[in-house]
């Protein structure tokens, strides 16, 4: 089974009537995702893409039984949208919005504490369980159902690795983009733990990059859990200069932390198979599974 999402996932889309929300909600509906409603203040009582639109998250949840929300709200108002969903008790939030102010995310992270909500993002490509559900903006072109769980900080590398895993004849159980911002919701470590507990996941690919400490925390989780499933790690940014942001807000190496070398060392020390570059991930996972008897 997939992690985080399933056939029972009923999704509302906050900001569904906007240009980005409309485009990606239509893609998700075509893929088979159960989008049961949209939320846009002032447009309650209308319909969009064939589903009802509500003024508030609370109204949408009460009417549809939704248990997940997608946030396509612009940066200045994205935090309020997330906070509304958290207050409404929505179990899963996926926020694809980029450039959410960091102070706003501090408020969101505080609200998540003690709540029943789990946040993926912001600045995430979302979640994809092939043949089950797509929540977000992730490409579905190369994805096929299989046994490899992928968790990533990089959207572009995710597409490459999904294609490689498919070409290797392995397929994916669930692919999760945790988001590229410094302050975000679900972590690499949390996703690894969920994938290790998933019976259909035979191996895990971790895609990391410079900045933050997600990869080091993932290494700590691997050391604690001592998994039998093989884990392949790809860390981007080996040659990135210090104090230079690469790509997005979370990808920056400081004088003291966040280097690719430190992340590679931490993950290698706990038994992860380190991919030397992006083109070797699929083959390396196939070899790791064979060595593990999978």
Active site residues: 248
Helix (H, G, I), strand (E, B) or coil at 14: strand
Provide the sign of the torsion angle of the four alpha carbons 160, 226, 274, 185, taken in this order. positive
Helix (H, G, I), strand (E, B) or coil at 144: coil
For residue 37, give the nearest of 50, 26, 24 by alpha carbon: 50
For residue 144, give the nearest of 167, 127, 126 by alpha carbon: 167
Q: How many CB atoms lie within 10 A of CB 261?
A: 12
Instruction: Quote the CA–CA distance of 158 and 63 in Å, as a whole number.
Output: 35
Work out whether strand 231-236 and strand 145-152 pair parallel, antiparallel, or are unpaired: unpaired
* Crossing angle between the packed helical segments 214-225 and 260-269, to the nearest 10 degrees: 0
Asked if residue 174 lies in contact with residue 195, where contact means CB atoms within 8 angstroms, the answer is yes
* DSSP state letters, 222-271: HHHH--SS-EEEEEE-TTPPTT---SSTT----SSS--HHHHHHHHHHTT
């Amino acid at each position: 089974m997939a992690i985080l999402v399933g056939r029972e996932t009923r999704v509302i889309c906050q900001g569904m009537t906007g240009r980005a929300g409309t485009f990606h909600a239509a893609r998700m509906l075509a893929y088979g995702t159960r989008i049961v409603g949209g939320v846009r203040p002032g447009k309650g009582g209308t319909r969009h893409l064939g589903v009802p639109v509500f003024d508030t998250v609370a109204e949408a949840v009460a009417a549809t039984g939704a248990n997940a929300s997608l946030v396509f709200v612009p940066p200045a108002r994205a935090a309020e949208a997330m906070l509304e969903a958290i207050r409404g008790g929505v179990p899963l939030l996926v926020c694809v919005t980029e450039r959410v102010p960091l102070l706003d995310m501090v408020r969101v992270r505080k609200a998540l504490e003690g709540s029943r909500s789990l946040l993926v993002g912001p600045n995430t490509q979302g979640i994809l369980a092939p043949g089950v559900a797509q929540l977000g903006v992730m490409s579905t072109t190369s994805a096929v159902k299989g046994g490899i769980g992928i968790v990533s900080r990089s959207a572009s590398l995710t597409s490459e690795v999904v294609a490689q895993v498919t070409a290797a004849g392995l397929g994916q159980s669930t692919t999760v983009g945790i988001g590229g911002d410094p302050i975000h919701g679900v972590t690499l470590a949390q996703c690894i733990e969920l994938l290790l507990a998933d019976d259909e996941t035979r191996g895990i690919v971790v895609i990391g990059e410079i900045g933050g400490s997600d990869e080091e925390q993932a290494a700590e989780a691997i050391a604690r859990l001592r998994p039998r499933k093989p884990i392949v790690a790809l860390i981007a940014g080996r040659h990135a200069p210090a104090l230079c942001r690469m790509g997005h807000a979370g990808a920056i190496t400081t004088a003291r932390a966040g280097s690719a070398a430190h992340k590679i060392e931490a993950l290698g020390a706990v038994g992860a198979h380190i991919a030397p570059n992006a083109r070797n991930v699929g083959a390396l996972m196939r070899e790791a599974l064979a060595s593990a008897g999978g």
